[in-house]
Amino acid sequence: MKQLWSPWRSQYIQSLSSERGDSGCFLCTAAQDPPERDAENLVVYRGSLCFVVMNRYPYNSGHLLVAPYRHVGDLVELTEAESLALMETIQLSLRVLGATHKPHGFNVGANLGRTAGAGLPDHVHVHIVPRWNGDTNFMPILAEVKVISEFLAEEQRKLSEAFTDALARSDRR
């Protein structure tokens, strides 16, 4: 039998039991930490009301989470300004991922409440998952393993630069 090592999975499994305890909300931690810690927290963009962080346990390369800074658990609790900023940040993220990853499509969505599948039900966030034709194979089905082809640190650097470039281009218009 061949072994396929995926040590990040054990980190994820361990985090499920501890992340709702004393460690608090990872999105609030990322939002409140100074920008000097963005690489460590996988933050790739900070707007005025929302920010973008890479998923530490991604389904695909480029899997992003878009969230308001304010710790709120339901979309209906967002202010009008937060709702608009959330959608604008999702659109910006789609443009950036389109330029950097060149996917054939995207899954975009939010799981609201634990019953709906939310791993972090108390802080609204929208998942953006780039998809490619043929990106599914036997690994997730038979081995429950997803192969991610790029280190998170390298992808964080690349995406941070791409967000900066995208904003600079939009300012020139």
Separation between Cα atoms, residue 146 and residue 128, nearest integer Å: 17
Distance CA 90, CA 108 (A): 9
Query: 16, exposed or middle or buried, with CB in 10 Å at 0-12, 13-18, 19+?
Result: exposed
Catalytic residue (one of 63, 71, 125, 127): 125
Question: Tokens representing 118?
Answer: 């939310």
- Distance set, CA 34 to CA 6, 29, 72 (Å): 30, 10, 21
What single letter denotes the amino acid at residue 162? A
125 catalytic per annotation:
yes
- What is the three-class DSSP state of 91? helix
Residues tagged active-site: 125
